[in-house]
Amino acid sequence: MSKIGVFICHCGENISATVDCQKVAEEVGKVEGVEFATDYKYMCSDPGQNLIKQAIKEHHLTGVVVGSCSPRMHEPTFRKTCASAGLNPFMCEVANLREQCSWVHEKGESTTEKAISLVKMLVEKVKKDQPLQSIEVPITKKALVIGGGIAGIQAALDIANCGHQVILVEKEPSIGGHMSQLSETFPTLDCSQCILTPRMVEVAQHPNITLYTYAELEKVEGSIGNFDVTIRLKAKSVDFSKCTGCGTCQQKCPQKKIPSEFNAGLGTRTAIYVPFPQAVPNKPVIDKEHCNYYQKGKCKLCSKVCPVGAIEYDKPDEFIKENVGAIVVTTGFNVLNTDFFPEYGYGKYKDVINGLQFERLASASGPTLGEIRRPSDGAIPKKIVFIACCGSRDPAKGIPYCSKICCMYTAKHAMLYQHKVHDGESYIFYMDVRATGKNYEEFVRRAIEEDGVKYVRGRVARVYEKNGKLIVKGADTLLGGQPVEIEADMVVLATAGVSNPGAEQLAQKMHISYDPYYFFSEAHPKLRPVETNTAGIFLAGACQSPKDIPDTVSMASGAAAKVAALFSQKNLVREPVIAVVNRCAPPVFSTCVGCFMCETACPYHAIEREDIKDRKGNVIKTVAKVNPGLCQGCGTCVAFCRSKSIDIQGFSNEEMYSEVVSLLNS
């Protein structure tokens, strides 16, 4: 015997401009089982909610349908309202009359008719709704942070300082990420390593942080509060418990000419290596791809010279399993290499470099010890051309977005060059200058007014080599498109920020969404920037989209706050939209016949087998059982079951059937 209350919201004018809300309430009020129907200007406001609460109490309502904005917006609000009035929150449904009706149709009879059918459809659903109780799941108060750049370091420190255990996993031999490769940071020209390394050391020494470097995420199972993760510890070939970091092995290693990833290809390293002098942990690993022993079976010089016998060859990768309550993804980004640009030489010209390579040149611990020198002949360039927006904002190259940091770092590069080479000339070809952060505009002004950097508004059509110089052919649009040709000694391309290779596979391992550029997707672009659509997995930093250091650090702290909020609860309260296999009286026990097709189909392996036994312990039949902690409520099993023995609470067979049938009959 249903007593449904129907509440139609005007949403100010958002709904009432095209839908006749009063008529909707009137018409739905005539449906059998609807006890009370009304309309109101702002249902989600306090007086609106009080209206619902009063109606529930006065009319003893058994269900509520609210016709308003999208349920994705306010379903939790209205469910809380019902709960506070004593009605089970899952007996409340929301009809989408705004995003999917009033906002997309013109004012008219058919729009109002559609609104009426949508509300009637949910009235029929509510009649079949069952009261449900939320599920409580215990939370493991340990977090996993994937990626040891500045975002990962910040997030790990914040969570660890709350008193929770953190596991930080980094795939390179050292933490630090791209920030450790920078020379100075805008807008303060702080030395990057000087501000980063104290944090790196803090991470290594923090009692709550377990650091795994040269390690990658192998597998993720489970769900929020209870993720079972498998981490692959790649074989380092060095026993860190014995290694003292003396560095003798690196001095003696015969393979000295391997291009150094840390120096963006401009310098070299050995096969047994520490990526940079301030690495944390400051102990080497062997690069198997370039080691004489692993490739040819010879050498083994490092093990001979190691004073403590720390070298251990041929160890397999180790796998460790951990149970964590939340995961923070901080895997960062990459920049395009110069070989992406055919018009700038396909990467063939040694003196055409990208921004990261320029950082290494400018860095005091870089391959040229901080002097700006041409990679081709080591000469100091007297004229440098910087080209902004290389690849970014270019739909023809498949990168329509803005990479956010390039305008600022190009200005910074030009300033650093001018500081180091007083008689040098620098030109920046730009489209716009995006200097939006605090003190950013003043920084760019300083580059132009104090350091004499010349800004030319226009794009560069071609760069080619002639007589040892690089000819840059561009245009100056502020002079009406006048062609500009500069004979430069070096060209620096501010290449686009892109996602890391392997981002897609990582996202699929964790079941998080990503956009067409393989940046990970946030749950809501405005209001939920640090969460993903997968509960318990959070994002921070450039893996979500290119950003500068202040924004990255803010986001990392934001993600850490979300993790801390999660861990501050005793138990996680989950929505009871899960599948249940029916049970009934003996001798049937359950209409389930135990074919277990649902078991194979379940993406979360949430279906188990249950033996139904008689008093002697003999098995009568084996049926399916759903593990409420693992089930995420997708309902795939329900559509498979031939005997319809498994049903999903909240979207049950009865409910969906009534919805569809009512939609067509109205």
Partner 1 sequence: MDNNNEFEPKIVAFVCNWCTYAGADLTGTSRIKYATNVKIVRFPCTGRIDFMLLLKAFAGGADGIIISGCHPNDCHYTSGNFHARRRWITFRHMLEILGVDVRRICFTWVSAAEGAKWADVVNDNVANIRKLGPYKEYTKVAQYFEKEAYNEQD
Partner 2 sequence: MSKIEEKAVQMLGGDVKTVLGYEKGSKGTRPFFCHTTEDAAKLVYDENASTNLAAYLVKQEIKDEGKIGVCANTITLRAIAQLASENQIDMNSLALFTVLDEGKGDVKDFASVDDINAYLADKPLPDSEKYDNLDKKLEAMTSEERWTFWVNEFSRCIKCYACRAACPLCYCTRCITDVNRPQWINPWPSPMANMEWQVNRVMHMTGRCIGCGACQNACPVGIPIGYLSRKMLVDMSKEFGYIPGQAMKDGNSLSTFKPDDQENFIH
Q: Which positions lie near partner 2, rule CB under 8 A? A: 588, 591, 593-598, 600-601, 622, 640, 642-644, 653-654, 657-658
Q: Looking at beta carbons only, is 205 or 636 nearer to partner 1?
A: 636
User: Mask: binding to partner 1, 636-655, rule CB under 8 A, as x and -?
Assistant: x-xxx-------x-xx-x--
CA atoms in the 13 A half-sphere facing the CB of 220: 27
Three-class secondary structure of residue 256 per DSSP: coil
35 binds partner 1 (CB under 8 A): no
| Residue 140, amino acid | T
Q: Looking at beta carbons only, is 379 or 588 nearer to partner 2?
A: 588
Do 300 and 254 meet the contact criterion of CB atoms below 8 Å apart?
no
Please pick, from the candidates 10, 114, 290, 412, the single residue that binds partner 1 as defined by CB under 8 A.
114
Q: Hey, what long-range contacts does 202-205 have (CB within 8 A, 24 or more apart)?
A: 202/157, 203/148, 203/153, 203/156, 203/157, 203/168, 203/175, 203/280, 204/280, 204/281
The minimum distance between CB 664 and partner 1, in angstroms, equals 3
The minimum distance between CB 595 and partner 2, in angstroms, equals 4
- Residue 594, contacted partner among partner 1, partner 2, none, CB below 5-8 A by kind: partner 2
- Residue 596, contacted partner among partner 1, partner 2, none, CB below 5-8 A by kind: partner 2
The minimum distance between CB 604 and partner 1, in angstroms, equals 8
Please pick, from the candidates 17, 104, 201, 588, the single residue that binds partner 1 as defined by CB under 8 A.
104
User: Mask: binding to partner 1, 548-587, rule CB under 8 A, as x and -?
Assistant: -----------------------------x----------
- Exposed (0-12), middle (13-18) or buried (19+): which is 33, by Cβ within 10 Å? middle
Do 243 and 310 meet the contact criterion of CB atoms below 8 Å apart?
yes
Do 495 and 399 meet the contact criterion of CB atoms below 8 Å apart?
no
Do 284 and 250 meet the contact criterion of CB atoms below 8 Å apart?
yes
495 binds partner 1 (CB under 8 A): no
What is the distance between the alpha carbons of residues 219 and 509, in angstroms, rounded to a whole number? 6
Interacting stretch for partner 1, rule CB under 8 A, among 58-66, 197-205, 494-502, 505-513?
Answer: 505-513
660 binds partner 1 (CB under 8 A): yes
225 binds partner 1 (CB under 8 A): no
Bridge pairing between strands 272-273 and 268-269? unpaired
Pick from 307, 152, 297: which is nearest to 215 by CA?
Answer: 152
513 binds partner 1 (CB under 8 A): yes
CB-CB neighbours of 452 under 10 Å: 14
- Residue 591, contacted partner among partner 2, partner 1, none, CB below 5-8 A by kind: partner 2
Q: Which residues contact 333 (CB under 8 A, 6 or more apart)?
A: 178, 497, 498, 499, 500, 519, 542, 543, 546
Two tokens, residue 251? 């001095």
534 binds partner 1 (CB under 8 A): yes
Q: Looking at beta carbons only, is 320 or 593 nearer to partner 2?
A: 593
Q: Looking at beta carbons only, is 112 or 180 nearer to partner 1?
A: 112
β-bridge partners, 607: 626
Q: Looking at beta carbons only, is 533 or 568 nearer to partner 1?
A: 533
- Residue 595, contacted partner among partner 1, partner 2, none, CB below 5-8 A by kind: partner 2
- Residue 70, contacted partner among partner 1, partner 2, none, CB below 5-8 A by kind: partner 1
The minimum distance between CB 641 and partner 2, in angstroms, equals 9
Measured CA distances, 410 to 196, 493, 548, 606, 659 (Å):
21, 9, 13, 52, 58
Please pick, from the candidates 96, 193, 363, 392, the single residue that binds partner 1 as defined by CB under 8 A.
96
Pick from 319, 549, 538: which is nearest to 440 by CA?
Answer: 549
Q: Looking at beta carbons only, is 369 or 597 nearer to partner 2?
A: 597
CB-CB neighbours of 94 under 10 Å: 25
What is the distance between the alpha carbons of residues 248 and 465, in angstroms, rounded to a whole number? 42
Interacting stretch for partner 1, rule CB under 8 A, among 149-157, 271-279, 396-404, 596-604?
Answer: 596-604
Binding site for partner 1 (CB under 8 A): 70-72, 96, 98-100, 103-106, 108-111, 113-114, 117-118, 121, 508, 511, 513-515, 533-534, 577, 601, 603-604, 632-636, 638-640, 648, 650-651, 653, 656-657, 659-661, 663-665
